[in-house]
């Protein structure tokens, strides 16, 4: 009995002591403007004890005295508040929006750290800024929103097309220059595998990052420098972008439901200028089938008008049969022009707009729903989204992305936490052929004469004897479908008959266990997988120009990435003024890639649907490959703070790779000095920090780069070292091309940066400046070896690249008065790149064409445009021929630099009561681009510059020279110009213009462009280098939030947000093509600055509604 009484007494004393140590705290959470924030998570640090603020931002929670409260909310920076002295009323707790001041950033391996304590550059892009444009592709949402981050579009009008992203310039020549993406702690694919598409033709494939639903993103951090990214080692050469997806949030109802729906109308943004004054033909004469496909025919305005004189009588001279289109219209031949009657039988003055016949209003539908909840035991977030795009190109141009996500966290007492994050994406699309491609929509489309109607593109051709040929294609170089090869496909044949389909399944999952065995120690094990399968099919029906016998390609790309990290992080306090954290860990990664490709050509049955059996055995081409790359890394990092003023971070990663023959180490160190704490406090200058960082990151060799691989070859030999061998005579065979290197080092980038961060006017204005310099050495290249060795090349460390630049960011609240506020966010960056050394060559081809390419040239920036140029003397003066025309130089040279001088992004956000207006202007200064489209159209006489009609006096016609060395009078006499162009007074109506290159006036006529050096086909590419400067009104959005108390009481909803958005509304540029911010070679290659019949971009208007319950 006494023992029971004693136990009861002990229990009551303990209980009273516990109750006495507990305290109920309350308060109100608001944003910086004082508006209450409902649904903010309030958690007692180190426990699962928590609550959410109510509709008025108020909360009440029973916690231990002396504990710390954690406040977190979507779109705002987290805060910590310590409960001191048994305080019960914490008053008003203000939270800053993401991207504003006092940020907490996520650094390498997911570690959170105060931005004020970091010595390296980490830029945070808020989810609100990402989704504000309504842009369906996540990569494109980043454009203009972070200093040092450059986004280059590959094909603006192709739904789902990938984009190139680059941070602080290019760092490698042969590998990828795109950053590493880490999603929820797991490295993720952002590949843009081209497959069978050539770099200058085919279709633009997706960036795999675009599989992610942008609405699922909680935060995005950009680790730009080597110091910030060093713990990712040999995968961080190009920087790292950390993406964290959303977790469940609590509110007073227990869960939050968000419904979103939007529709976007897309329009053609910009057109290539085309002349519509002259029709198809040559020498000023109309031709029914223009020789060479050119538009150097008669002047359309000189025709009499009315119906054409069709040759419909089978017995008449020139009868060629007829074409009956599937739309019911019948087409006949028309007589060619003559010297006396240049228009021949072509009376009609009608011209046809390619833009009207090929483009439509594109539509993007996006619908999403998310559910989130949190309590003391854990949280979950679940979402579903469906994004459907019908592109602006009529026909087979579409993309659909469907995603599902489930994120869940469970607190297992106070010591353990388990969380799982998983997403599945299904992406299917149909892309359009573009570029240097007989089946590209613009290659033939823009060359089509103005007086040719591309409609009625398919049907039945009846020859002169009346025999029908069904399923024929009608194109401007095959206007009756009489031939089986149209040279250039009709654009409508391409968009309606040719299929380029892709079907992607993507799964990305993370499982994480956390333990807090001691108050100062956290242990985390994180493992995950990223898998995607990309099934592609390309179908070219019989009579397509690229494959006149028909072709069907079926390929499957399967990639799987496994990653696992075990991390221990301990905090310590050495003295009252010295404290910090230490992190150690081990990580392993494996990437598996497999590609299976099958191709059949020369269809046995031209009417068969796409299938691999529709071909003879000799017309089949199956191939496959498989690769595995493994690496393991050991890493450590220490963060130490001195007197809450100086913060030192040092760390490193040691790695071993299956593709390298030794291990390597990547160190880093940075320091931050908050010098403002030495100054008297004032309301003008409220914070100042100096920072410096140094580090190394790298890029490991690709699969089997350290080996001597074999590859299949029809003929072995003929490489300068032996006679040919036919493997078929020996039952098959392979050859070795590259010899294994003796030693192969990883590509190593060493970078230092210095900078200053400052805040003014009670933290209303934030300014940040950074200067960086980095050198990438040991660049891995294939270099040629002597054929006598039995090989052609070997992998070697053979180049060096340097980048140096400056970044400047400014943000703050410019105006705050009453219900109105105006915030400004601006960024500027300038990067100068230099290819310092190349071993064994002065330039390396990156992509493009033989005459014009993007190249790595020693002493120039990477991507320099290399091509033919005008012949000049040492003073830079053109060297002219006897008639006064310039001449092409014998050797190619560096003719343009596509890298911009600097980039600027300028954003404004104005709020008045429940209205919000957001504006983003993006500017790129300098850089150059090769307008190959213009060069080709000059040859064909179709460019807008070539509609000039001038009148030459009789004296000028008798004296001024053309490219052929003849006067205009002599051109007429020799039959090269129609005599009908001569007027009664001896003057001549002349198509062309006068020019003076320094040797007197000459005439630029048809032959200057067709035979002379005046076009991209016949002359130097230097003349088509143009300034790539542009300014773009990238985003304008106006939103209204309905969230009054009366509305909430009546509907039970938290809010409804209505938004109207304009995207890419205006483009100011002197560039004469579709858009200077384009890239022919796609997202995966390092070639830039080339425009050759690229597909155009879009202008969009979006309307959305978001309902939160």
Measure Cα distances from 1089 to 862, 936, 1069, 1086 in Å: 11, 17, 15, 10
Region at 78 (left for phi over 0; alpha for psi -120 to 50; beta for the rest)? beta
By C-alpha distance, which of 33, 29, 38, 98 is closest to 1043? 38
Span 183-249+251-263+361-437+492-706+741-863+898-927+1029-1103: which CATH code? Answer: 2.40.170.20
**pLDDT given for residue 78 in this prediction:** 77
**pLDDT given for residue 732 in this prediction:** 57
Q: How many CB atoms lie within 10 A of CB 1066?
A: 13
600 within 8 A of 551, measured Cβ to Cβ:
yes
Return the higher-pLDDT residue of 63 and 638. Answer: 638
By C-alpha distance, which of 466, 435, 503, 613 is closest to 1081? 435
* Burial of 392 per CB tally in 10 Å (0-12, 13-18, 19+): buried
Return the higher-pLDDT residue of 942 and 1052. Answer: 942
Classified by CATH at the fold level, domain 2-97 comes out as: Immunoglobulin-like (2.60.40)
C-alpha to C-alpha distance for 1041 and 92, rounded to whole angstroms: 24
Please state whether beta strands 765-777 and 163-167 pair in parallel, antiparallel, or not at all (unpaired).
unpaired
**Residue where the block lists tokens 């960086």:** 772
pLDDT-wise least confident of 30-44, 291-305, 656-670: 30-44
Q: Where are the beta strands (DSSP E) in 541-622?
A: 551-575, 578-601
The H or E element spanning position 665 is: strand 664-673
738 within 8 A of 795, measured Cβ to Cβ:
yes
Q: What is the pLDDT of residues 761-787, one digit of tens each?
A: 989 999 999 999 999 999 988 777 666
133 within 8 A of 147, measured Cβ to Cβ:
no
Query: What share of the chain in percent tops pLDDT 70?
Result: 91
Q: Where are the beta strands (DSSP E) in 103-239?
A: 104-106, 112-114, 122-125, 149-153, 163-167, 180-183, 186-188, 217-223
Q: Which of 115-129, 137-151, 593-607, 821-835 has the highest mean pLDDT?
A: 821-835
C-alpha to C-alpha distance for 55 and 248, rounded to whole angstroms: 18
The pLDDT of 466-494, averaged and rounded, is 96
CA geometry: angle 101, 107, 111, nearest 5 deg: 105
999 within 8 A of 1005, measured Cβ to Cβ:
no
**pLDDT given for residue 788 in this prediction:** 62
206 within 8 A of 162, measured Cβ to Cβ:
yes
Q: How many CB atoms lie within 10 A of CB 594?
A: 15
**pLDDT given for residue 1 in this prediction:** 44
CB half-sphere exposure, 654, CA atoms < 13 A: 6
C-alpha to C-alpha distance for 929 and 908, rounded to whole angstroms: 30
**Residue where the block lists tokens 């290019």:** 170
DSSP string covering 807-871, please?
EEEEEEEEEEETTEEEEEEEEEEEEEEEEEEESS-SEEEEEE-SSEEEEEETTS-TTEEEE--B-
Q: What is the pLDDT of residues 31-69, one digit of tens each?
A: 776 667 777 888 887 666 777 777 667 888 888 877 888
Q: Please tell me the pTM assigned to this model.
A: 0.89
Report phi then psi at 980, rounded to 5.
Answer: -65, -15
pLDDT-wise least confident of 104-118, 134-148, 195-209, 1043-1057: 195-209
pLDDT-wise least confident of 50-59, 311-320, 574-583: 50-59
**pLDDT given for residue 130 in this prediction:** 86
Tokens of 79: 């805060």
Please state whether beta strands 852-857 and 104-106 pair in parallel, antiparallel, or not at all (unpaired).
unpaired
Residue 422, helix vs strand vs coil: strand
- pLDDT, averaged across the chain: 90
The pLDDT of 1026-1033, averaged and rounded, is 98
Residue 135 has pLDDT above 70, yes or no: yes
470 within 8 A of 387, measured Cβ to Cβ:
no
Q: What is the pLDDT of residues 563-575, one digit of tens each?
A: 999 999 999 989 9
C-alpha to C-alpha distance for 763 and 684, rounded to whole angstroms: 9
C-alpha to C-alpha distance for 1048 and 358, rounded to whole angstroms: 48
Please state whether beta strands 240-245 and 180-183 pair in parallel, antiparallel, or not at all (unpaired).
parallel
C-alpha to C-alpha distance for 799 and 996, rounded to whole angstroms: 44
By C-alpha distance, which of 323, 340, 345 is closest to 332? 323
**pLDDT given for residue 735 in this prediction:** 58
607 within 8 A of 471, measured Cβ to Cβ:
yes
993 within 8 A of 872, measured Cβ to Cβ:
no
904 within 8 A of 922, measured Cβ to Cβ:
yes
610 within 8 A of 638, measured Cβ to Cβ:
no
**pLDDT given for residue 347 in this prediction:** 98
**pLDDT given for residue 712 in this prediction:** 54
Tokens of 379: 């949280």
Q: What is the DSSP letter of 246?
A: -
Residue 2 has pLDDT above 60, yes or no: no
Tabulate helix, strand, coil % of the chain (nearest 5). 10, 50, 40
C-alpha to C-alpha distance for 66 and 322, rounded to whole angstroms: 93
The pLDDT of 856-873, averaged and rounded, is 95
* Residue 514 CB contacts under 8 Å (≥ 6 apart), including other chains: 416, 417, 418, 419, 522, 523, 524
**Residue where the block lists tokens 């991209």:** 1016
**Residue where the block lists tokens 């493994």:** 630
The H or E element spanning position 699 is: strand 685-699
Identical fold between 2-97 and 183-249+251-263+361-437+492-706+741-863+898-927+1029-1103: no
Helices within 983-1098 (DSSP H only)? 1006-1010, 1045-1051
C-alpha to C-alpha distance for 315 and 321, rounded to whole angstroms: 10
Q: What is the pLDDT of residues 665-680, one digit of tens each?
A: 999 999 999 999 999 9
Tokens of 858: 């020693």
* Residue 353 CB contacts under 8 Å (≥ 6 apart), including other chains: none
C-alpha to C-alpha distance for 612 and 553, rounded to whole angstroms: 8
Q: What is the pLDDT of residues 730-744, one digit of tens each?
A: 555 555 566 767 688
C-alpha to C-alpha distance for 264 and 242, rounded to whole angstroms: 29
Domain ranges of the chain: 2-97, 183-249+251-263+361-437+492-706+741-863+898-927+1029-1103, 942-1009
The H or E element spanning position 226 is: helix 226-229
* Residue 1092 CB contacts under 8 Å (≥ 6 apart), including other chains: 200, 435, 436, 849, 930, 932, 933, 936, 1080
C-alpha to C-alpha distance for 1079 and 702, rounded to whole angstroms: 25
By C-alpha distance, which of 875, 878, 869 is closest to 998? 878
C-alpha to C-alpha distance for 105 and 122, rounded to whole angstroms: 7
Q: How many CB atoms lie within 10 A of CB 1002?
A: 21
Q: What is the pLDDT of residues 904-948, one digit of tens each?
A: 999 999 999 999 999 999 999 999 999 999 999 999 999 999 999
Q: What is the pLDDT of residues 370-409, one digit of tens each?
A: 999 988 888 999 999 999 999 999 999 999 999 999 999 9
Tell me how far apart the 2 most distant CA atoms of the chain are, in Å. 137
């Amino acid at each position: 009995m006494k023992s029971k009484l004693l136990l009861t007494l002990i229990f009551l004393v303990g209980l009273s002591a516990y109750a006495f140590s507990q305290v109920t705290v309350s308060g109100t959470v608001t944003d910086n403007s004082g508006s209450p924030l409902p649904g903010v998570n309030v958690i007692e640090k180190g426990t699962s004890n928590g609550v959410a603020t109510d509709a008025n931002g108020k909360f009440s929670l029973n916690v231990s005295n002396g504990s710390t409260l954690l406040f977190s909310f979507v779109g705002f920076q987290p805060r910590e508040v310590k409960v001191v002295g048994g305080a019960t009323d914490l008053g008003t707790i203000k939270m800053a929006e993401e991207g504003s001041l006092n940020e907490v950033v996520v650094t390498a391996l997911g570690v959170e750290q105060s931005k004020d304590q970091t010595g390296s550059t980490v830029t945070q892009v808020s989810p609100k800024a990402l989704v504000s444009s309504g842009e369906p592709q996540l990569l494109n949402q980043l454009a203009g929103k972070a200093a040092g981050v450059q986004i280059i579009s590959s094909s603006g009008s192709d739904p789902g097309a990938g984009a190139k992203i680059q941070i602080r310039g290019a760092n490698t020549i042969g590998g990828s220059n795109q950053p590493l993406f880490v999603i929820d702690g797991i490295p993720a694919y952002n590949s843009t595998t081209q497959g069978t598409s050539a770099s200058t033709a085919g279709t633009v494939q997706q960036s795999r990052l675009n599989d992610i639903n942008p609405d699922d993103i909680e935060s995005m951090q950009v680790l730009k420098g080597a110091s910030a990214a060093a713990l990712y080692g040999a995968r961080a050469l190009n920087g790292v972008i950390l993406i964290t997806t959303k977790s469940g949030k609590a509110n007073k109802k227990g869960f939050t439901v968000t419904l979103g729906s939007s529709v976007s109308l897309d329009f053609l943004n910009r057109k290539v200028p085309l002349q519509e004054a002259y029709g198809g033909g040559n020498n000023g004469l109309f031709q029914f089938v223009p020789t060479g496909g050119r538009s150097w025919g008669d002047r359309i305005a000189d025709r009499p008008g009315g119906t054409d004189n069709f040759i419909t009588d089978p017995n008449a001279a020139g009868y060629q049969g007829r074409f009956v289109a599937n739309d019911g219209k019948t087409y006949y031949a028309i007589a060619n022009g003559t010297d006396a009657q240049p228009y021949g039988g072509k009376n009609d003055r009608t011209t046809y707009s390619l833009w009207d016949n090929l483009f439509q209003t594109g539509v993007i539908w996006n619908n999403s729903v998310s559910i989130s909840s949190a309590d003391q035991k854990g949280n979950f977030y679940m979402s579903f989204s469906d994004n459907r795009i019908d592109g602006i190109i009529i026909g087979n141009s579409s993309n659909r992305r469907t995603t599902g996500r489930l994120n869940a966290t469970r607190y297992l007492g106070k010591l353990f936490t388990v969380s799982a994050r998983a997403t599945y994406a299904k992406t299917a699309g149909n892309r359009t052929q573009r570029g240097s491609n007989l089946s590209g929509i613009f290659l033939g489309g823009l060359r089509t004469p103005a007086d040719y109607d591309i409609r009625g593109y398919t049907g039945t051709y009846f020859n002169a004897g009346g025999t029908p040929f069904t399923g024929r294609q009608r194109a401007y170089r095959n206007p009756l479908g009489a031939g089986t090869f149209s040279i250039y496909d009709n654009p409508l044949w391409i968009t309606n008959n040719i299929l380029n389909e892709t079907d992607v399944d993507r799964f990305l999952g993370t499982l994480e266990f956390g333990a807090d065995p001691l108050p100062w120690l956290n242990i985390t094990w994180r493992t995950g997988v990223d898998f995607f399968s990309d099934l592609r099919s390309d179908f070219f029906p019989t009579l397509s120009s690229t494959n006149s016998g028909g072709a069907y390609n079926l390929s499957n790309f399967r990639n799987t990435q496994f990653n696992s990290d075990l991390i221990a992080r301990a905090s310590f306090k050495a003295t009252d003024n010295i404290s910090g954290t230490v992190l150690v860990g081990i990580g392993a990664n494996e990437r598996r890639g497999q590609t299976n490709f099958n191709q059949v050509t020369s269809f046995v049955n031209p009417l068969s649907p796409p299938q691999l059996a529709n071909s003879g055995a000799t017309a089949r081409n199956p191939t496959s490959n498989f690769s595995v790359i493994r690496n393991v890394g050991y890493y450590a990092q220490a963060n130490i703070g001195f007197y809450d003023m100086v913060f030192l971070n040092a760390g490193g990663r040691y790695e071993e790779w299956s593709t390298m023959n030794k291990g390597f180490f990547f160190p880093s160190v940075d320091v931050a000095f908050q010098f403002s704490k030495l100054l008297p406090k004032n309301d003008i200058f409220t914070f100042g920090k100096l920072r410096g960082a140094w580090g190394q990151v790298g890029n490991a060799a690709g699969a089997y780069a350290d080996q001597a691989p074999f590859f299949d070859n029809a003929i072995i030999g003929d490489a300068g070292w032996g006679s040919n061998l036919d493997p078929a005579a020996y039952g098959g065979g392979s050859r070795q091309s590259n010899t294994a290197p003796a030693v192969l080092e990883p590509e190593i980038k060493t970078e230092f940066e210095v900078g200053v961060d400052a805040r003014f006017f009670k933290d209303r204005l934030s300014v940040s400046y950074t200067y960086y310099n980095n050198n990438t050495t040991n660049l891995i290249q294939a270099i040629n070896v002597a054929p006598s060795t039995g090989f052609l090349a070997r992998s070697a460390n053979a180049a060096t690249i340097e980048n140096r630049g400056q970044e400047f960011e400014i943000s703050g609240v410019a105006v705050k008065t009453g219900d109105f506020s105006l915030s400004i966010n601006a960024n500027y960056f300038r990067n100068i790149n230099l290819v310092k050394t190349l071993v064994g060559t002065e330039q390396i081809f990156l992509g493009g064409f033989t005459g014009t390419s993007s190249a790595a040239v020693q002493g120039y920036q990477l991507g320099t445009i290399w091509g033919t140029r005008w012949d000049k003397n040492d003073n830079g003066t053109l060297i002219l021929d006897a008639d006064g025309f310039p001449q092409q130089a014998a050797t190619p040279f560096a003719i343009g630099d596509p890298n911009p001088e600097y980039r600027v992004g300028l954003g404004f956000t104005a709020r008045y009561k429940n209205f919000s207006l957001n504006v983003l202007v993006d500017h790129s200064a300098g850089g150059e681009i090769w307008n190959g489209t213009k060069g080709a159209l000059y040859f064909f006489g179709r460019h807008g510059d070539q509609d000039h009609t001038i009148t030459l006096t009789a004296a000028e016609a008798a004296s001024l020279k053309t490219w052929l060395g003849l006067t205009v009078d002599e051109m007429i006499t020799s039959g090269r110009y129609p005599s009908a162009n001569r007027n009664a007074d001896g003057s001549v109506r002349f198509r062309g213009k006068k020019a003076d290159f320094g040797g007197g006036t000459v005439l630029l006529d048809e032959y200057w462009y067709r035979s002379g050096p005046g076009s991209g086909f016949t002359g130097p590419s230097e003349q088509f280098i143009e300034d790539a400067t542009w300014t773009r009104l990238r985003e304008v959005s106006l939103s209204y939030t309905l969230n009054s108390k009366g509305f909430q009481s009546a509907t039970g909803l938290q809010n409804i947000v209505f938004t109207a958005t304009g995207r890419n509304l205006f483009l100011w540029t002197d560039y004469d093509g579709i858009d200077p911010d384009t890239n022919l070679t796609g997202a995966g290659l390092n070639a830039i600055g080339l425009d050759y019949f690229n597909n155009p971009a879009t202008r969009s208007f979006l309307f959305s509604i978001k309902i939160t319950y």
